[in-house]
Amino acid sequence: MTILKEYTSSKHREVEALPMIQCIMKGPSVEQYVYYLYELKEIYRVLESHANQKGILNGLDGIERYQNLENAIVTGKQGLPISARSPGIGIGRGST
């Protein structure tokens, strides 16, 4: 066992036991994956907004992910039943 693997093994097992990681490892449903993208989109929205205000992304054309995530969510939701087309679904919110 490598030193890094030895020192991180307990944390590695702890993270693997998290419900979201279990779901990802099993392969999430479309509903769960759309919810994951929705949550990720909000993180990128805030990060990109602040980074743009400070000029951090200047010269890094195409690095923004917010709009790509929004498009993926719209595309993913098209295949879901009407009742599942809200952001309140998915991992950690009563999903199966």
Q: Report how far apart the first and last C-alpha atoms of the chain are (Å, whole number).
A: 37
Greater confidence, 73 or 1? 73
Q: Give the Å distances, CA to CA, from 68 to 14, 65, 83.
A: 31, 5, 24
What's the half-sphere exposure (Cβ side, CA atoms, 13 Å) at 8? Answer: 7
pLDDT at 4 over 70: yes
Q: Which of 92, 94, 89 is nearest to 35 (CA)?
A: 89
pLDDT digits (tens, 9 = 90+) for 67-90: 888 887 777 666 654 444 444 444
Please tell me whether the overall predicted TM-score, pTM, comes out greater than 0.85 for this model. Answer: no
Could you tell me which residues come within 8 angstroms of residue 64 by beta carbon, excluding any fewer than 6 positions away?
A: 44, 48, 57
The answer to whether the CB of 91 falls within 8 A of the CB of 27 is no
Predicted local distance difference test score (pLDDT) of residue 35: 80
DSSP state, residue 54? T
pLDDT digits (tens, 9 = 90+) for 35-45: 888 888 888 88
